[in-house]
């Protein structure tokens, strides 16, 4: 049997709404999605905005950066500086949390987030 998941692309905002090398939050279908403009690497990421540590809607306001030899892209929550991989959503500061990540694509200066 083949399990089919359909990804719907939602237009979130424009690329210049998101500061360079930083993030901002968009409201999509009632969900808070953090969008990151990793302009230094020409990459875009999207994750849930909720920090699982103290349930704060704050990840989009965190500082982004990278770590390790693989230069894993990450975001640090502004509240207690827990860090999360922007690729896998895994918590990189030793806790068991995993945050949701979303596919993201850019077309004509518009940002689209893929949701199931």
Partner 1 sequence: MKQKIIVVGNGMVGYKFCEKLIAKDTTKKFELIVFGEEIRPAYDRVHLSEYFAGKTIEDLTMAPASWYAENGINLILSDPIVDIDREAKTVRSHHGLLESYDYLVMATGSGAFVPPIPGVEKDGVFVYRTIEDLDLMQTHAKKATKGAVIGGGLLGLEAAKALLDLGLQEVHVIEFAPRLMPRQIDEAGSKVLQAKLETLGLQIHLNKNTQEIVGNGIIEAMQFADGSRLEVDMLVISAGIKPRDEVAKVAGLEVGIRGGIVVDNALQTSDPNIFAIGECALAHQMIYGLVAPGYEMAEVVATKILIGVDVASFGDAFIQEPHAQTIVFENSAKGIYKRINISNDGKYLLGGILVGDAEQYNMLLQNTKNKTILPPDPEDLMLGARGGAEDGASGVMALPDEALICSCEAITKGAIYHEIIENKVTTLDGIKKCTKAGTGCGGCVPMVKDLINETMKSQGVFVRNILCEHFDYTRQELFDLVKIKNFRTYDDVLDHLGKGDGCEVCKPAVASILASLWNEMILEKGNATVQDSNDRFLANIQKNGTYSVVPRIPGGEITPEKLIVIGQVALKYNLYTKITGGQRIDLFGAHVSDLPDIWEELVNAGFESGHAYGKSLRTVKSCVGSTWCRFGVQDSVSFAIEVEERYRGLRSPHKLKSAVSGCTRECAEAQSKDFGIIATEKGWNLYVCGNGGVKPRHAELLATDIDSETCLRYIDRFLMFYIKTAEPLTRTAPWLDKMEGGINYLKSVIIDDVLGMGEQWDAEMNLLVEAYKCEWKEVVDSPELRKRFTHFVNAPKVKDPNARFEPMREMVKAAEWK
**Which residues in this chain contact ligand FES in the complex, by CB under 6 A?**
51, 53-54, 56, 77, 79-80, 82
Chosen from partner 1, ligand FES, none, partner binding at 109 (C-beta under 5 to 8 Å by type): none
Residue of 107, 109, 102 whose CA lies nearest to 28: 102
Record the tokens describing residue 109, joined without a space: 């200066």
Residue of 40, 37, 3 whose CA lies nearest to 19: 37
Q: Which stretch binds partner 1 (CB under 8 A): 1-9, 53-61, 97-105?
A: 53-61
Tell the smallest beta-carbon distance from residue 83 to ligand FES (Å): 9
- Among 9, 54, 98, 105, interactor with partner 1 by CB under 8 A: 54
d(CA 85, CA 92): 7
């Amino acid at each position: 049997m083949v399990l089919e998941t359909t990804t719907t692309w939602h237009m979130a905002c424009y690329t210049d709404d998101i500061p360079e090398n930083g993030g901002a939050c968009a409201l999509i279908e009632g969900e808070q999605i953090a969008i990151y403009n990793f302009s230094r690497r020409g990459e875009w990421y999207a994750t849930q905005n909720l920090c699982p540590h103290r349930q704060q809607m704050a990840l989009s306001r965190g500082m982004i950066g990278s770590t390790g030899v693989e230069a894993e892209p990450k975001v640090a929550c502004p509240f207690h500086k827990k860090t999360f991989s922007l690729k896998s959503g895994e918590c990189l500061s030793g806790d068991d949390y995993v945050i949701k990540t979303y596919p993201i694509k850019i077309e004509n200066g518009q940002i689209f987030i893929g949701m199931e």
